[in-house]
Amino acid sequence: MWEEKLAIYDQLIDKCPRFERKGKTMPYTSANGYMFSLFNKDGEIGIRFSKDVQEKYLKKFETTLYKSYGATMKGYILIPDSMLEDLDELAVYLNESYDYVMSLEPK
The tally of domains found in the chain comes to 1
pLDDT at 35: 97
Average pLDDT of span 68-89: 96
Mean per-residue pLDDT of the chain: 97
CATH of the domain at 46: 3.30.1460.30
| 3-state secondary structure labels for all residues of 12-53 | HHHCCCCCCCECCCCCEEEECCEEEEEECCCCCEEEECCHHH
pLDDT at 54: 97
pLDDT at 78: 98
pLDDT at 46: 98
Alpha-carbon Rg of the chain, whole angstroms? Answer: 13
Average pLDDT of span 8-36: 97
Q: Name the residue range of residue 57's domain.
A: 2-103
Residue 64, SS3? coil
